[in-house]
């Protein structure tokens, strides 16, 4: 395994201390990551602040730089993918998909324009609404998609003229550190700094005096701490937080026809996706067939080490998350729910949990009400669709949701009633670089992606020129 160093002011930065990174497929430490000191964080912030003074000035250069980033990432997919698989757990093919997705995000974002709106231009005055970069962005990412989620921040922040200090999760620091190393040759020093460390480093970043914006993806609990840390300095904030996405199946659906899509909407990345399906609402008459179809898929899917050919679902990423899924499934069993497939760890040293379908469970059970963020899916009965909509919305979460039907017009009307940032019809997890993505209620503040996400890395300046 190669060396991993932080990138500060465009250079490799050594630290005295390091921490072990665990491969979730083995439960053992397989590499070390640097532990950033406060002085090094200050140096990273300082270099980002210095780089900002010139980086903000040349739009064409920034656009080209994003395209160069896309090319550099694409060139290094072979090196990055095994690192990502070993630290995160996902199958190698999925790691490649994530990396190519990140490259695509850079490429796509390089084509976006920041609009200048002219409100008035006559003999009296010219009034323009313009967008300015904010300055240094502190970016903090979680462990489920370290590279694609970093690209959602880096590409738009840099295009808008900001510079960045980026911190990955302590569970998955290596692929992001490697990304920083790869982009050292592409970006001017200080434009993108990558530091690694524990949760305390995140807290130092959010209370640091230099950044003017925090772009955070992670849990609701941490998001609230980040918001509180941003308040004294009135730092701008984008929060992409957790979800408890409902999928509502309407009575006209053929269970066989939708089962694959619903299954992978829930179990992709071992269920560790903020906007994965986390609960399914099924009408009484389709209940058993839907449960049977999903359970059959759960039993046949190949769970294993992401480095092995044919693996479809890897382990959970870390021990606390593995314990949490175990606990939520045990709680459901205790309350009388029926485990139709899975329901227990695979066994061995890694954090493998059998894909689990839980039936005869209702709202009020922790597995339904909380974000499980893992491979255990509750299937809930409903009598009429209004009841399903009400239950879907009876939560603090509001990231996304989906409605499934042969009648797309009716499904669309129902989807629009979901209190969430993205409502899908006959699909789930369709996330695109051109569409805004963000959460209602506790699932977030602001959005990422598309022009809307780009504008989140700017602030408005009204320029009002008197002509007479």
Annotated active-site residue in 240, 268, 293, 371:
240
The CB-of-363 to ligand NAD minimum distance in angstroms stands at 20
* Alpha carbons 215 and 139: distance in angstroms, whole number: 5
* Alpha carbons 266 and 272: distance in angstroms, whole number: 9
Contacts to ligand NAD from residues 21-40, by CB under 6 A: none
Q: Which of 8, 9, 166, 274 binds ligand NAD (CB under 6 A)?
A: 274
The CB-of-216 to ligand NAD minimum distance in angstroms stands at 7
Q: Which of 225, 261, 338, 441 binds ligand NAD (CB under 6 A)?
A: 225
Encode 24-52 in three state secondary structure. CCCCEEEEEEECCCHHHHHHHHHHHHHHH
Residue range at the interface with ligand NAD (CB under 6 A); choices 76-84, 176-184, 211-219, 422-430: 211-219
Helix crossing, 92-109 with 146-159: angle to 10°?
Answer: 10
Is 173 a residue that touches ligand NAD (CB under 6 A)? no
In our burial notation (b when 16+ CB lie closer than 10 A, e otherwise), range 291-309 reads bbbbbbbbeebebbbbbee
Report the DSSP pairing between strands 277-283 and 376-382.
Answer: parallel
Q: Which of 242, 304, 306, 375 binds ligand NAD (CB under 6 A)?
A: 242
Report the residue count for the chain: 468
Is 241 a residue that touches ligand NAD (CB under 6 A)? yes
Is 446 a residue that touches ligand NAD (CB under 6 A)? no
The CB-of-448 to ligand NAD minimum distance in angstroms stands at 7
Q: Is the Cβ of residue 23 or residue 141 nearer to ligand NAD in the bound state?
A: 141
Q: Is the Cβ of residue 141 or residue 402 nearer to ligand NAD in the bound state?
A: 141
CA dist 4 to 21, 75, 177, 442, Å?
11, 18, 6, 35
Is 226 a residue that touches ligand NAD (CB under 6 A)? yes
Q: Is the Cβ of residue 405 or residue 449 nearer to ligand NAD in the bound state?
A: 449
Contacts to ligand NAD from residues 346-405, by CB under 6 A: 371, 373, 399
Q: Which of 163, 169, 402, 458 binds ligand NAD (CB under 6 A)?
A: 169
Dihedral of the alpha carbons of 144, 147, 149, 155, in degrees to the nearest 10: 180
Q: Is the Cβ of residue 283 or residue 453 nearer to ligand NAD in the bound state?
A: 453
Annotated active-site residue in 36, 69, 270, 274:
274
Residue range at the interface with ligand NAD (CB under 6 A); choices 42-50, 136-144, 328-336, 345-353: 136-144
* Alpha carbons 337 and 362: distance in angstroms, whole number: 9
Is 142 a residue that touches ligand NAD (CB under 6 A)? yes
Q: Is 270 annotated in the active site?
A: no
The CB-of-162 to ligand NAD minimum distance in angstroms stands at 19
Q: Which of 91, 156, 401, 444 binds ligand NAD (CB under 6 A)?
A: 444
| Structure tokens given for 276 | 């994965």
Residue range at the interface with ligand NAD (CB under 6 A); choices 54-62, 63-71, 85-93, 163-171: 163-171
Half-sphere exposure of residue 180: CA atoms within 13 angstroms, side-chain side: 30
Cα angle 462, 108, 118 (rounded to 5 degrees) comes to 20
* Alpha carbons 243 and 220: distance in angstroms, whole number: 9
The CB-of-257 to ligand NAD minimum distance in angstroms stands at 29
- The count of residues interacting with ligand NAD (CB under 6 A) is 29
- Residue 159: helix, strand or coil by DSSP? helix
The CB-of-323 to ligand NAD minimum distance in angstroms stands at 13
Q: Is the Cβ of residue 19 or residue 189 nearer to ligand NAD in the bound state?
A: 19
Closest-CA residue to 94 (of 308, 297, 245, 277): 308
Q: Residue 460, Cβ neighbours under 10 Å: how many?
A: 10
- Sequence-distant (≥ 6) Cβ neighbours of residue 340 within 8 angstroms: 291, 292, 295, 298, 357, 358, 359
CA dist 278 to 115, 245, 411, Å?
37, 5, 19
Is 143 a residue that touches ligand NAD (CB under 6 A)? yes
Is 287 a residue that touches ligand NAD (CB under 6 A)? no
CA dist 72 to 13, 162, 454, 458, Å?
21, 21, 22, 26
- Residue 139: helix, strand or coil by DSSP? strand
* Alpha carbons 391 and 282: distance in angstroms, whole number: 12
Q: Is 274 annotated in the active site?
A: yes
The CB-of-116 to ligand NAD minimum distance in angstroms stands at 29
Q: Which of 163, 176, 217, 395 binds ligand NAD (CB under 6 A)?
A: 217
Taking CB atoms, the residue at the shortest distance from ligand NAD is: 202
Q: Give the residues lining the site for ligand NAD (CB under 6 A).
A: 140-144, 149, 167, 169-170, 199, 202-203, 206, 217-219, 222, 225-226, 240-243, 274, 371, 373, 399, 439, 444
What is the set of active-site residues?
240, 274
């Amino acid at each position: 395994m190669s060396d991993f160093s932080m990138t500060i002011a465009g250079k490799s930065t050594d630290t005295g201390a390091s921490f072990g990174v665990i491969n979730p497929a083995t439960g053992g430490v397989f590499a070390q990551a640097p532990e950033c000191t406060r002085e090094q964080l200050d140096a990273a912030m300082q270099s980002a602040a210095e780089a900002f003074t010139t980086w903000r000035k040349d739009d064409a250069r920034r656009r080209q730089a994003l395209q160069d980033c896309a090319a550099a990432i694409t060139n290094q997919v072979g090196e990055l993918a095994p690192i990502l698989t070993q630290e995160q757990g996902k199958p190698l093919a999925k790691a490649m998909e994530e990396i190519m997705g990140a490259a695509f995000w850079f490429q796509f974002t390089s084509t976006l324009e920041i609009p200048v709106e002219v409100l008035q231009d006559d003999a009296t005055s010219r009034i323009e609404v313009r967008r300015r970069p904010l300055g240094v962005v502190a970016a903090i990412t979680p462990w489920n998609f370290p590279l694609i989620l970093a690209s959602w921040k880096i590409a738009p922040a840099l295009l808008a003229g900001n510079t960045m200090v980026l911190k990955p999760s302590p569970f998955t620091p290596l692929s992001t550190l490697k990304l920083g190393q790869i982009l050292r040759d592409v970006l001017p020093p200080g434009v993108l700094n990558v530091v690694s460390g524990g949760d305390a480093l995140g807290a130092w970043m959010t209370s640091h005096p230099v950044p003017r914006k925090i772009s955070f993806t992670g849990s609701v609990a941490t998001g609230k701490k980040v918001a509180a840390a941003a308040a004294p300095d009135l730092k701008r904030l984008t929060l992409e937080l957790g979800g408890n996405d409902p999928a509502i199946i309407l009575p006209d659906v053929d269970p066989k026809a939708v089962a694959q899509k619903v299954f992978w909407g829930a179990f992709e990345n071992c269920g560790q996706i903020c906007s994965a399906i986390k609960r399914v609402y099924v009408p009484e008459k389709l209940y058993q067939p839907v449960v049977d179809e999903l359970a059959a898929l759960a039993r046949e899917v190949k769970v294993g080490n992401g480095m092995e050919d044919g693996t479809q679902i890897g382990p959970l990423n870390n021990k606390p998350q593995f314990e949490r899924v175990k606990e939520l499934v045990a709680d459901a069993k205790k309350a009388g729910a029926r485990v139709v497939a899975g329901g227990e760890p695979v066994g061995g040293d890694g954090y493998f949990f059998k894909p689990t379908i839980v039936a005869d469970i209702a709202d009020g059970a922790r597995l339904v009400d909380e974000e499980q963020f893992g491979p255990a899916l509750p299937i809930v009965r409903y009598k009429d669709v209004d009841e399903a909509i009400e239950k879907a919305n009876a939560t603090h979460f509001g990231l996304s949701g989906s409605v499934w039907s042969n009648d797309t017009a009716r499904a669309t009307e129902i989807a629009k009633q979901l209190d969430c940032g993205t409502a899908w019809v006959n699909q789930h997890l369709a996330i695109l670089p051109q569409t805004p993505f963000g959460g209602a209620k506790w699932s977030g503040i602001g959005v990422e992606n598309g022009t809307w996400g780009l504008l989140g890395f700017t602030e408005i300046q009204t320029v009002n020129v008197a002509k007479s």
